[in-house]
Structure 1
């Protein structure tokens, strides 16, 4: 028997950074995000011995763990090793991992990979973890390998859907699907586009950017920005519920403005030039997702302007990627193939 799983990546729409300590515990964090039909896939094939052979397609790395009780973090697939260490499998297997999106792209791909693998091992080991358990352990994996970040990515990947999430410190998370009418969801998919602008530079990787943010959260001016981002997040939730999609688009840009005031390093001249090109050709609002400086830009376009915006952004060197929303979240299945 062969076991497979997949977990979606997410679009970060508003509130990112309020889901991280110490702000979430002291003031309560909220985010609006959406899972999309780009996935991290895991295939598990049991083997006769107790070794674990891992093949990461995206990283082009193959390695073998002779003893899962003696795992060493050495910079090679440490996230995968941490998942295995925390789940404690008692049998050997071949593991094949791949993702639909590039690495370090701002869509929470590492969290999706962790959710997919943990969900898979939960199923095979019959641990009976629920989605909250799977998401929380995937967050603990990031902590295990000392990669700073919040919790929204893991929960978005586990649950799927378009969500309003609440964070009140430690493991307190509440996932609230936003009730959006089907016609409004279809309009969102038609007029929104995501485009890959290139990878962020290694000097300012996501972990470093997030860690720098956390160090400054105690400063009063940073709290003021996070409070403003929270208010925008409430407004975005309400706009989506009301079907006010123009306002949704405007709020993308408003939230991005507050994020860049809080941490100017997350943007670049290139990013802002792309946003300007989009606005000049029919975009209502836009923002970069994830830690910043690279990855995917989301743009919400005026009526029937999405093609013009997409063409201009691709002329500027980006790569537009079609998408739809995912409402299934993490999935596991069996096959004989």
Structure 2
């Protein structure tokens, strides 16, 4: 039996430029971090005593005998991709609901691939793990999503991720002092809106409009360098908040469903309380709101944003990790 633990991520700037429709003509770039919220995936070889060849537990339970009959699209495609045909049980647990803007589907894809490679006695690099996860979601399932989340989940940490027109990807750690990183995280406040959304529907619309939004996307991409320079320099949180604010306002122009009246009201209330900037994580429409705000004002913010839940997060330096391995289980 093998258990993998895969972190979720928060993307600060550059989102949208990891879509192929953009980076195939120009390079894309994002800056993100993994956090201490996880998906756990357990895989276990079954004996021939079990009545069903494949037992898969997530928000529902599947018991089937053929890979083609598996309803969960990612599980079905991965088992087919790896040509796994032995009796197998898969169980999934998560700290955070799906479809909330923290990259959960990509983390799941990375974690299941990692676990199954290990079950076959194969080691795999973070880069190859991310590449395979991208192949499953974008090539096999034809999902209209970017590929930043797969690399964030596989590598872990606080990184700048660059997407080149030739499909190569460069992952570069942000070399900021530990004190600045810790203080930066102390200035972050994450709130759950209790609204889930389908990122793919928003991203499909965004991709259709890319040609007309090209200059805005370039500005969003170029904010990565500014954000990186501050983190690696003096760590001025007022400037970091301002960049998030500018980038969020530009991102809202990419598609009408990225924000809504309710989210905008919460955002403006946070600004009045003292937030230096912020954004809605993920493609938009719901999920989590992230603010840069002094720690002393976070208690007031939590009281005022009624109907939302504050989730405390910390920095996670590791990507997908095998936390349990027993070949005799």
TM range (shorter): over 0.9
C-alpha distance in 2 between matches for 1:72 and 1:46: 19
Cα distance in 2, alignment partners of residues 145 and 298 from structure 1: 30
Are the counterparts in 1 of residues 186 and 295 from structure 2 also a CA contact under 8 Å? no
For residues 41-63 of structure 1, what are the alpha-carbon distances to aligned partners after superposition, in whole Å with 9 as ceiling and x for unaligned?
1011211138121000xx2x111
By how many angstroms is 1:126 displaced?
A: 2.7
Residue 291 of structure 2 corresponds to 299
The 2-side partners of 1:178 and 1:213 are apart by 28
- Alpha-carbon distance between aligned partners in 1 of 2:124 and 2:261, rounded to the nearest angstrom: 45
Secondary structure of the residue that 2:20 maps to in structure 1? coil
Aligned to 2:232, the other structure's residue is in SS state helix
How many residues of Structure 1 are paired with residues of Structure 2 in the alignment? 322
The residue aligned with 1:258 is 250
Residue 81 of structure 1, CA deviation: 1.6
Q: Aligned-pair RMSD on alpha carbons?
A: 1.6
The equivalent residue for 1:23 is 22
CA offset digits 1:18-50 (Å, max 9, x no partner): 011121121100000110011111011211138
| 1:91, distance to aligned residue in structure 2 (A) | 2.2
Matches within 5 A, 1:1-337: 2-49=1-48, 51-56=53-58, 59=59, 61-68=60-67, 71-72=68-69, 76-143=71-138, 144-169=140-165, 171-201=167-197, 205-219=198-212, 222-242=213-233, 243-313=235-305, 315=306, 317-332=307-322, 333-335=324-326
Distance of 2:164 and 2:97 partners within structure 1: 31
Query: CA 1:96/1:303 → structure 2, altered by over 3 Å: closer, same or farther?
Result: closer
2:268 is paired with a residue of what secondary structure? helix
* Unaligned residue ranges in structure 1 (runs of 5+): none
**Counterparts in 2 of 1:195 and 1:170: CA distance versus 1, 3 Å:** farther
For residues 3 and 164 of structure 2, the distance between their equivalents in structure 1, rounded to whole angstroms, comes to 33
Unaligned runs of 5+ in 2: none
User: Contact conserved, 1:197 with 1:294, CA < 8 A, in 2?
Assistant: yes
Contact 1:283 / 1:302 at 8 angstroms: preserved in 2?
A: yes
Q: Distance in 1 between matches of 2:203 and 2:146?
A: 9
What is the TM-score when the length of structure 2 is the normalising length? 0.93
Tell me the secondary structure at the aligned position of residue 27 of structure 1: coil
CA contact (8 A) 2:2 2:118 kept: no
The CA distance in 1 between the partners of 2:147 and 2:164, in whole Å, is 11
Residue 139 of structure 1: how far off its partner (Å) = 1.3
**Secondary structure of residue in 2 paired with 1:305:** helix
TM-score, structure 1 normalization: 0.91
CA displacement at 1:245 relative to structure 2:
2.3
